[in-house]
Amino acid sequence: MSNDLPLSKENILDAAEQVLRRFGPDKTSVVDVARVLKVSHGTLYRHFSSKAALRESVTERWLHQNILAPLKDVTEQFDGNAKEQLRLWLDTLIHSKRSYAVDDSEMFAMYASVTLEAIDMITQHVDQLIGQLARILEKGIQTGEFKALEIEVTARAIFNATSRFHHPAHAKEWQSGSIDQEFASVWDLMLSGISS
């Protein structure tokens, strides 16, 4: 049942994502993915030792492409001041999560379930996001918009203080009509705390 094409990691993840979307995370096995790729089970088990490893890798790529990359652009390419950049970064994070919860609900549900397992991959993803926030804070301190603050600690505090608006466990609450107003109030509170 094997074919001759070399299997790249991207090929495997494409097939895995396709199968996960079709059957759902609970019903997808490594064997199902091997079947789609027309390779032996053994070949695929060399890449993914378990169903959990498969889900984790697909979720990691999805998070990278859909959450981290657009926020990296905001971090590196925004021209306005640090305060506007910080707000845009948070708005981008919050609105991406909110639209994926609705428009890409299969992948969002898998991401939510992987997050609950609190694996290292999620910790690393969050650390990368907090690293981006830290760069924006650093810029704002340099321009004098923000006061002298502990950059890494404050970046993490801002991420944690906005959990309600971007952590997948709160997805149901994002449907509330007052959610934007609630975020605006938390933003005002935080901005007041960091402004010089």
Q: Which own/partner pairs from 96-104 qualify as long-range (CB within 8 Å, at least 24 positions apart)?
A: 96/66, 96/67, 96/70, 97/67, 97/165, 97/166, 97/168, 97/171, 97/174, 98/174, 100/66, 101/168, 101/171, 101/174, 104/66
Kindly tell me which residue out of 9, 127, 173, 196 binds its own copies, with binding defined by CB under 8 A.
Answer: 173
Does residue 59 belong to the site contacting its own copies (CB under 8 A)? no
Kindly tell me which residue out of 4, 118, 148, 177 binds its own copies, with binding defined by CB under 8 A.
Answer: 118
Kindly tell me which residue out of 134, 164, 180, 196 binds its own copies, with binding defined by CB under 8 A.
Answer: 164
3-state secondary structure (DSSP) of residue 146 = strand
Does residue 73 belong to the site contacting its own copies (CB under 8 A)? no
Kindly tell me which residue out of 60, 169, 174, 180 binds its own copies, with binding defined by CB under 8 A.
Answer: 169
Say how many CA atoms lie within 13 Å of 100 toward its Cβ. Answer: 22
Does residue 185 belong to the site contacting its own copies (CB under 8 A)? yes
**Footprint of its own copies on this chain (CB under 8 A)?**
116, 118, 153-154, 156-158, 160-164, 167, 169-170, 172-173, 176, 182, 185-186, 188-194
